[in-house]
Structures are given as structure tokens and as C-alpha cells.
Structure 1
Amino acid sequence: MKTLLLVLCLMLTACCTTNGAKTDPQVIYQTKLVDTACEWTKPIYVDKADVMSEETARAILAHNRAGAKVCGWKPLK
């Protein structure tokens, strides 16, 4: 009888567990990035009479292509 009582007590204490110390909730900060470049940048227009280096012409072309891709700029008609 004592053995049965001892086994029963052990079973009851085994099912009661604790999680340890209570931890505080973690605060997660999420940054939202808003790209406003399309609001303040414009295409660069050049004239046939403009004189520029190859490097400048490539930079202007890269700028205008990026704007067309990201901002939806359309070429002048």
C-alpha cells in the first residue's frame, strides 16, 4: 500500500512542471522605408547641340533608364 501511495505521489509531482522564470516580451522595431525619389527626380534632357564627354552621356543614360524602370518615365514625343 505504501508503495502504491509513493508511486501515485511521484506520478502527480512529475506532471506538474514549471517554465522557470517569466520572461518579458521582446519589443521588435520594424522600419518602413518609403522611397520618394520619383517625387523629386526628373529625367535629364539633352539637346543635339550639347557637348559632353562619353562618361557624362553614359551617366545621363543610366539615370534616365533607371527612372524609366523604377518611376515609369516615358520618353518625350
Structure 2
Amino acid sequence: MVTPKILALAAFVALAACQHSGGSFCDIEKPNRNPVEDMTPAEARTAVEHNLRGEKLCGWRP
């Protein structure tokens, strides 16, 4: 038989798993201002995609 203490513990664990300390993309992220020349092609592609997302969602300007 499951005791009330075990049920309470399971409920607290489940609730704690749902919490996060983040916010929206615009609250957390910042534009990538590193020179593209200093990046590998994959890093540059990722940085450009990140900045384009920020322009669309957050109104970032170059």
C-alpha cells in the first residue's frame, strides 16, 4: 500500500520537474556580434540563423 508521505513526495518531485528558470527567447538570447571571418562555416551558419531568428522575433537590428 502507498502511504500519503510517498504520494506527497511523488507530487513534489513531479512539480519540481516542471519548473524552469528561463524566459522567452528575447529575454534570454542576445545577438551574436562575433566576426564571421573568425568562425568555421558551421559556426557562421548557426550565428546567422540565430541572428535572423532574433530579428524576426525580437526586432534586433544589425
TM-score by length of 1: 0.46
1:41 aligns with 2:29: yes
Question: Any stretches of 5+ residues in structure 1 without a counterpart?
Answer: 1-34
1:71 aligns with 2:58: yes
TM-score by length of 2: 0.55
Aligned residues: 40
Work out which of the two has the higher radius of gyration on C-alpha atoms and give 1 or 2: 1
Question: Any stretches of 5+ residues in structure 2 without a counterpart?
Answer: 1-22
What secondary structure, in the 3-state scheme, does the structure 2 residue paired with 1:64 have?
A: helix
Instruction: Specify the alignment match of 2:11 in structure 1.
Output: none
Return the offset for 1:51: 2.0
Deviation beyond 2 Å, 4+ runs, structure 1: none
Amino acid at match of 2:25: A
Whole-angstrom CA distance in 1 between matches of 2:41 and 2:27: 28
Identity of aligned residues (%): 35
Matches within 5 A, 1:1-77: 36-47=24-35, 51-75=38-62
The alignment's C-alpha RMSD in Å is: 1.7
